[in-house]
Structure formats: structure tokens, C-alpha cells
A and B are shown apart, each in its own frame.
Chain A
């Protein structure tokens, strides 16, 4: 029986690996997700027959599965595509919480004297799982705008966080050495929860995707640690896979922003902002703004238009209007493509998901490296709700917080149309020189309304 179970876990592990592999290509990605889900079902099915269930056990599992299943599928089906990042944060957080609770429960059954090889991974799982839970909840609150997305800082913050980390470390040592301190797990959990909150508070909303990815990797490691506690092969392999791939993904994301992970996590943003306020304060520069008719005519008689979509397009739910504009332009023989910055939207790949939802042909979506040389041959760069990803100060203002971030070369296009709600700076809080470029025409208003007006203007031109 035990051999069968182990074999089933092996099959599940293979499913997870194949699933991850297939998730790496757009054609097979959906299939990959399904293979992983099949692996999950196999692992769960193999777990049930080996346990002796108490009546209470059966009841709480039934209730938990029904409630959790309903909450999970309801949340996943109802969430708007623009709110995906916070939903991922939420699902990640509950996973971390579950890992911590499993470790607590397992430690309790060992009573006063767990062996070192049980106590160590359990304590690790409790700490990391709790940090992931609390941190994910803060990330969720920031992205859902339940709280401010700007970094929350106070004097001595790093010191406080350092003391928290030291206290946790001390507790871990105490638990491992003595093991019978009353409420020690609970104290450890509380400290880790506080650290999780304190760790994410000073990080700005724009950096949340990187944080969520990191916490995703944390949860994976917590799950793997729980696997060591329970001697469960499936938990160890699946948790470690997520921990490793999540860490790599986190690095890829911060690379895309042109920053190191340390820079993202430890609040360099907050400190440099003061310096840039002075640089950015060049008031009184003039901007040109155009009417829908001007811009519609400009677009209609262009050879080649590159659309640069940003988060503003996503919040206005304007992806369908953008496609409509692209369609009418293509009918007139204009070549249209979309330039996708790696961090456009709120997460790498987020913008592709949104545009795919609007049935934009896959071939028209160009990644940054592919499209950057095309801008100089483009008649119009149409910027819709993007800002920081086309800000030239990333290239030429060493004092700027986004200096060094790779950007789209929208400034090299012959004309630039900048669609924006207002002159307000973008998510990073920095003024954008591109708005003052003589080649730039501003077009103010809600992205969806503006695009609809442009569609009408192009049709009339």
C-alpha cells in the first residue's frame, strides 16, 4: 500500500514538472496548467487511503474543502483581469498560512520532545509561512487600494525590522534547544506575522509584483519544510519546485525593472524621491495638446503606428477600444503593433493577458527588445495610460529613481501621442520629460473615452 502511495506521489511530481515545462510556451501553457491540476488530484487521492480518520477529522476536512473550494473558485471566477495580481497575492497568502498551521499542528503532536530533524523544518515553516501570509495580505491591501500604495516609512524602520528578525532568530534557537516553552510556537507565529507586515509596508505599490513573486517562492519553501516535518515526498518536491522557480522568476522581474532585488525590497525608492522632487520641479514648461480630430487624421495617414499600452489602459478597461482603433487603422492599410514593456500593467506579462482578452492577434504584440528598433521608423507612438516605461529620464537622469530601467524608445518616433488622464506623474511618482517633447501631442481624458473618440475620428478622416 505504502509503495503504491509513493508511486502515486512520483506520478504527481512528474505532472508538476511537465506542467511547469508546458507553462513555458504560449501554445501549451493551458495544457500545462491542467497537467499540474491532474497531478494535484493524484496526490490528494493517494493521501486519503493511508490515513485513519477520526469522525471529527472527516467533518472538518469536508467543511474545509467545501468552504475553501467555494471561496477559491468564486474569487477566481469573479476577479477582473486587472485585479489578477492582488488575487494571486491572496491565494499565495492563504497557502503560506496553511503551511504554518500544518507545522504547528505537527509539532504539537510531538509534545515536549520533538527530534531536531522534526523541530527545525517545522519552525522554518512556521516562520516563513507566517511572513508569507502577512506580507501577502499587505500586498493585497495595497494593490486593492484598501490602503495607500505609497511606501510607509518611519524613522528607524530598518532597526525595528532588524530587532524583529533578531527576536525571531532568538526564539527559533530557544525552541530548538529547549522545545518546551509554553506558547512558544504562538509567540513565534505572532512575531513572524508582524515581521511580514513590517517587511512589505515600506515597499511601494509599483514593486508589489516582485514582492508577491518573492512571497510565492517563500510559501513554496514553507511547504517543502512542512514536507520534511511530515516525511511527505509530494510536499517536498512540489514545494521546492515552486521555491526554486519562484526565486528565479523574482530575479527576472527585478531585472526587467533594471534594479537589484535588494534595491526593490529595502526601500531605496523612498529615499531618492526627495532628490528628484527638485529635479522634477521645472514648472511652466509648455505642453501641446491636440483634439481627437487632429490625432485621428494623424493616425489615419500614417504608415506605421506603435501602441504603447500601460496600466491606465487596464484600469479604464480600454483594451477592447484599443483593438477597435487598431482594426480601423489596419483597414486603411496602416501597420499597427503593440509595444509591451516587461513590466507594463502591474506584473510581467499582465498586459499580454489583458490584450489577449480583447482578442488582439498574438503577432501584433511585440516585446521590448523586438520593438525598440522599430520606433524610429514609426510615424506615431500612441501611448495609452503608460508613463514610467517611456520616461527618458531612465536613460539620461542619473538622479532619477528609475534611472537604469530599460524603457521603450517611444521618443524616437516621428510623432508621439500621449493619452493620459492628467499631467499627474506615474506610479513611480516622477515627472516625464516626454510630455514636454516638441514632437508630443497630449490627449487628455479617460483612456476608453479617448480611444472611442479616436476611432470615430479615424473613420471620419
Chain B
């Protein structure tokens, strides 16, 4: 087994543990944004798509590269934007809380 492969295998195994550990305390309410966020992260395949597209010269490679880059970019951009849209709503609450609280303090019965 080459040194490089051994290194890669090490990263692979350690990443498994980090991946599990880092999300193990996620509250249920964040499961959907989390799924969407991890979905955006695997858009890193765009790096791979660029690598294979960069040197493309034969028709087959050109087609493969074009499709791969297009799909991967859709994954990255769509993934991050849709996650941000979801999380934006979670943030909106704090600022709106203040006026709502003062309104409640006036007697209404």
C-alpha cells in the first residue's frame, strides 16, 4: 500500500468519526436545514468536475466534463442558497420579538 493511499485512508476514517460526532447533538428542529447544508457540502464534487473538465480534449471527455460541472454547480449553489433561505427565517424572530413583547404589556382584556 502506497504512502499516499495510507494517508487518504487515515483522513477517511477520521472524517467518519468527526462527521458523526459533530452533528450528534443537533435538535430536531434543525434536521431539515442540516440535511440541506450537508447536501450543499457534497457539492465539493465540483472540484472533481473541474479537475476532469480542465484537461478535456476528446469529445467524450468534453461532454462528460460539461455535464459534470453543470450538475455539480447546481448542487453547490442551490444547496447553499436554499439552506440560507431556511435559516434566514429562524433568525427573523429575535428582532420581531421586541415589538411583540411591548404590545403584549398593554392591557387588552
Contact = CB atoms under 8 A, between A and B. Distances in A.
A330 B83 CA distance: 32
Contacts of B44: 40, 43, 223, 234-235, 238-239
Given A61-B54, A367-B29, A91 B34 contact: no
Contacts of B81: 72-73, 76-77
Interface of B is mostly: helix
A353 B32 contact: yes
A395 interface: no
Contacts of A252: 26, 28, 31
Given A216-B42, A240-B16, A87 B32 contact: no
B42 A359 contact: no
B69 A26 contact: no
Question: In the complex, which of the residues B5, B34, B78 has the most CB atoms of chain A within 10 Å of its own CB atom?
Answer: B78
A60 interface: yes
Contacts of A56: 56-57, 62
B70 A68 contact: yes
A48 B69 CA distance: 13
Interface in A47-82: 47-48, 51-54, 56-57, 60-61, 63-65, 67-69, 71-73, 75-77, 79, 81
A147 interface: no
Interface string A420-440: 000000000000000000000
Interface string B86-104: 1111111100110010001
B56 A101 contact: no
B39 A365 contact: no
Interface stretch (A15-23, A168-176, A268-276, A287-295): A15-23
B23 A249 contact: yes
B28 A60 contact: no
B28 A40 contact: no
Given A60-B65, A84-B36, A331-B108, A367 B28 contact: yes
Contacts of A200: none
Nearest to A39: B41
A321 interface: no
A261 interface: no
Interface in A246-268: 246-249, 252-253, 256
A257 B54 CA distance: 46
Contacts of B53: 57, 60-61, 64
A44 B62 contact: no
A223 B79 CA distance: 15
A99 B45 contact: yes
Contact of B18 (A17, A81, A333): A17
Contacts of A21: 22
A245 B23 contact: yes
Given A57-B65, A88-B36, A238-B42, A40 B54 contact: no
A296 B35 CA distance: 39
A36 interface: yes
Contacts of B108: 331-333
- Name the 9 nearest CB pairs between A and B, nearest first: A68-B73, A64-B69, A244-B19, A72-B78, A72-B77, A348-B31, A240-B15, A76-B81, A95-B75
Interface of A: 16-17, 19-21, 23-26, 29-30, 32-34, 36-37, 40, 43-44, 47-48, 51-54, 56-57, 60-61, 63-65, 67-69, 71-73, 75-77, 79, 81, 84-85, 87-88, 90-92, 94-95, 97-99, 101-102, 104-106, 108-109, 117, 212-213, 216, 219-220, 223-224, 226-228, 230-249, 252-253, 256, 330-333, 340, 342, 347-350, 352-353, 356-357, 359-362, 365, 367
